């Protein structure tokens, strides 16, 4: 592994060095519960490859974004929130609140979510 991947907590979870209970795991994407949930269901969905942020999506193949969103929908269904509704959030960069430099989406649901602003 590269030094960046070795230091990335999400890469270490994906690689099995840090235990996690995956809600859904496929070759290209994984979903697991956030350790500090903001809703009854709060998943982190991310690519298995180390991609830093949404700013790096264009360097992926043309179907990457669609496949990731389809995976989000499957993870929401497995978690039982697809019918009642859920919110998908991406914190991008330091000012956007991104704490781990590995592209990830927050999927929140299972309760009525209030306004963000």
Reply yes or no on whether 50 is catalytic: no
Three-state secondary structure readout of 54-103? HHHHHHCCCCHHHHHHHHHHHHHHHCCCCCCCEEEECCCCHHHCCCCCCC
Q: Which of 50, 102, 104, 106 is catalytic?
A: 104
Average pLDDT over residues 91-99: 95
Whether residue 1 is predicted with pLDDT greater than 60 in this model: the reply is no
The CATH architecture annotation of domain 3-109 reads 2-Layer Sandwich (3.30)
**What are the residue ranges spanned by the domains of the chain?**
3-109
Mean pLDDT (the chain, rounded):
94
- pLDDT tens figures, 58-77: 999 999 999 999 999 999 99
- Give the mean pLDDT of 12-21: 96
53 versus 1: the higher-pLDDT residue is 53
């Amino acid at each position: 592994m590269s030094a960046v991947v070795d230091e990335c907590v999400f890469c270490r979870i994906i690689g099995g060095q840090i235990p996690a209970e995956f809600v859904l795991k496929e070759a290209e994407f994984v979903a697991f519960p956030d350790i500090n949930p903001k809703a009854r269901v709060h998943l982190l969905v991310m690519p298995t490859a180390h991609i830093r942020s949404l700013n790096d999506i264009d360097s992926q193949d043309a179907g990457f974004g669609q496949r990731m969103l389809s995976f989000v929908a499957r993870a929401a269904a497995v978690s039982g929130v697809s019918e009642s509704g859920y919110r998908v959030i991406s914190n991008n960069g330091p000012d956007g609140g991104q704490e781990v430099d590995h592209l990830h989406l927050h999927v929140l649901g299972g309760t009525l979510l209030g306004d963000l602003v």
